[in-house]
Amino acid sequence: MKKLKNVTVLDHPLINHKIAILRSVETHTKDFRELVEEITTLLTYEAFKDAPTQEVEVQTPLEKCTQRMIAENSIAVVPVLRAGLGMVAGVHTLFPTAKVGHIGLYRDEETLRPQEYYCKLPDGIENKRVIVLDPMLATGGSAVAAIDMLKKRGCKDIRQMSIIAAPEGVEKLATAHPDVHIFVAYLDRELNEHGYILPGLGDAGDRLFGTK
Ligand code: PRP
Ligand code: URA
């Protein structure tokens, strides 16, 4: 894959360690869910590096000082149902006041095209930084559709956060929405003929929610 400007792939021993356990077919729902949260927390640290901040005055036990805090009401996360739900707690561990919107999309198994079924976003979302959460960026169809929906509702400052991505999905999203910075914990090799990421981890929604 050619190097893309707006893509950050976390290359870190802690991430790689956790992803190895996440991929394993031996890892069951409880551990899988906890690992998704932990990896999301590590991604959040990276994705918040340039979060909008404001100056506040703080009284310490010794004196007053000024300090920068993340601007109130400035950030929303939007998990793509279902699997994105598994990432919300990982963001809230570091930033509990992030507002949460929800977008419902599923991939048609024949065409692999995303089908929209739900959209509920926080008031004033158009003025917030929005981080789309979806552990899997495969063909990129769902991410492109989710971001289209957000832009149609006026959002201008959007990022994508995923745990595992295929090069095909990263390229599709970067081409469709070059203004959207993409944060991924790991970049995998390719997609198979059914649109599954290889080596991947299988179906993230089923593994998170124990549906298969
Ligand atoms: C998975 C995943 C993404 C999408 C990625 O969801 O969570 O939303 O596939 O594939 P794409 O990049 O090719 O669009 P799925 O459609 O299986 O729905 P689910 O989360 O409800 O299981
Ligand atoms: N969705 C998943 O959950 N896994 C994949 O490998 C591709 C899409």
- Note the pLDDT tens digit of each residue in 166-183: 999 999 999 999 999 999
**Amino acid identity, position 13:** P
**Tens digit of each residue's pLDDT (9 = 90 or more) over 116-135:** 999 999 999 999 999 999 99
For ligand 1, mutation pick of 22, 82, 116, 162 (most atoms within 8 Å of CB): 82
CA angle 170, 174, 180 (to 5 degrees): 110
Pocket-forming residues, ligand 1, beta carbon under 6 Å: 80-83, 105-107, 112, 114, 134, 136-143, 169, 195, 203-205
Ligand nearest to the CA of 112: 1
pLDDT band at 188 (very low <50, low <70, confident <90, very high): very high
pLDDT band at 4 (very low <50, low <70, confident <90, very high): confident
Atom of ligand 1 nearest to the CA of 139: 13
Q: Please check whether residue 42 is in contact with residue 93, taking contact to mean a CB–CB distance below 8 angstroms.
A: no
For residue 38, count other CB atoms closer than 10 A to its CB: 18
The alpha carbon of 109 is separated from its chain's Cα centroid by a whole number of angstroms, namely: 22
| pLDDT given for residue 72 in this prediction | 87
